Amino acid sequence: MDLGPFVRGVDQLKLKVEGVTVVQQGRESDRYRWIDEKRRPVYSVSKSFCSIAAGMAIDEGKLKLSDRVTLAFPRENPDPYWDALTLEHLLTMNMGHSKFSRPRSLKEALSCEISREPGSYFFYDNTCAFLISAMLTRATGQKLRDYLLDRLFSPLGISDPIWEESADGYTVGATGLELSTSEMAIFGNFLLRRGNWEGKQLVPAAWIDAATRTQVPTLPACKKNDYNLGYGYQFWICRHGAFRCDGKNGQFIVVFPALDAVVAINSNEKNMEPILWAVWDHILPQLGER
């Protein structure tokens, strides 16, 4: 792997990429740093970790896709749309609302207005992941971060990560996790291995398969390339047979199952789409070389 073309491509566009790591066939094939590696907020990449936690809790019999939000958290004002809302609607961003929100508490999340029947309309938002985290905590008695410590983070060698909490003590879920580029690459390799790590199945392979394939269409809400190909359970579906975790300002974990490869990127760049395009242009062609 030669990351030179990718590096020159992002530098030519003056994109503020901080680091990139490529893993193929279970081994790191190359990396490049613009700044020293350290943990940094990965924003909405956090949502994909939420999905893994949900899959684990379902496997343990503590949650079901059909679980209704208002059975876990009764609302003061009954609403037929809210009463129909399930964990699966949250995982697929099909809550039925149309105004982006960043809830700071469970009360704020439960006050969100749902204007369409759940399951009828994709709308990307932070409320869904917050409620996934809250439902998991209600079902398991553990905060989302703490639930994943022994089940995921420790086995992967991700030691005691910071994950932001809400004002009322829930792991935010939608954002707030801090990871290094290398740790993102490890998580990508775990996804590539379909949840099996060093011979132990941490989450069912069937969950990884379901979470990373199209569950709902993202059109008409998302019309941009690489956002218009569908959504799984807190994962984006990509071109080229790939799927990805995707966070604000250019945090990417792009997984290519057919090529047994992962590309992990940290950035501080608002114009993030060209970073992904540079992966297609400069890294992807090399991944096919065996």
Q: Kindly indicate the confidence band of residue 258, based on its pLDDT and cuts at 50, 70 and 90.
A: very high
SS3 257: helix
Q: What is the rounded average pLDDT of the residues 34-62?
A: 98
Count, residues in the chain: 290
Q: Of 102, 110, 106, 101, which Cα lies nearest the Cα of 76?
A: 110
CA distance 36 to 79: 50
Cβ neighbours of residue 84 closer than 8 Å, sequence gap 6 or more: 68, 117, 118, 119
Q: Cis omega (within 30 of 0) on the bond before 204?
A: no
**Residues of the domain holding 212:** 4-287
Q: What pTM does this model have?
A: 0.96
Cβ proximity of 73 and 110 under 8 Å:
yes
> Would you tell me the crossing angle of helices 181-192 and 45-59 to the nearest 10 degrees?
40
DSSP state of 231: B
pLDDT value at 260 more than 50: yes
pLDDT over 80 (residue 290): no
Residues 6+ apart with CB under 8 A from 176: 41, 46, 162, 163, 164, 165
Phi, psi for 197 (deg, rounded to 5): -130, 115
Residues 6 or more apart in contact with residue 30 via CB below 8 angstroms: 1, 2, 3, 21, 22
pLDDT at 34 over 90: yes
Helix (H, G, I), strand (E, B) or coil at 130: helix
Give pLDDT, residue 245.
98
Rg (CA), the chain: 18
> How many domains are contained in the chain?
1
What average pLDDT score do residues 91-120 get?
93
85 compared with 77, residue with greater pLDDT:
85
Tokens of 246: 């995707």
Cα dihedral 213→218→219→222 (10° resolution): -130
Exposure letters 178-198 (e unless 16+ CB within 10 A, then b): ebbbbbbbbbbbbbbbbbebe
CA neighbor of 18 nearest in space, from 273, 266, 282: 266
Mean per-residue pLDDT over the chain, rounded:
96
Res 37 pLDDT > 70 = yes
Q: Given pLDDT bands bounded at 50, 70 and 90, which one contains residue 267?
A: very high
Segment 6-20 mean pLDDT: 97
pLDDT tens per residue, range 169-180: 999 999 999 999
The answer on pLDDT for 103 being more than 90 is: yes
Q: What is the CATH number of the domain that holds 62?
A: 3.40.710.10
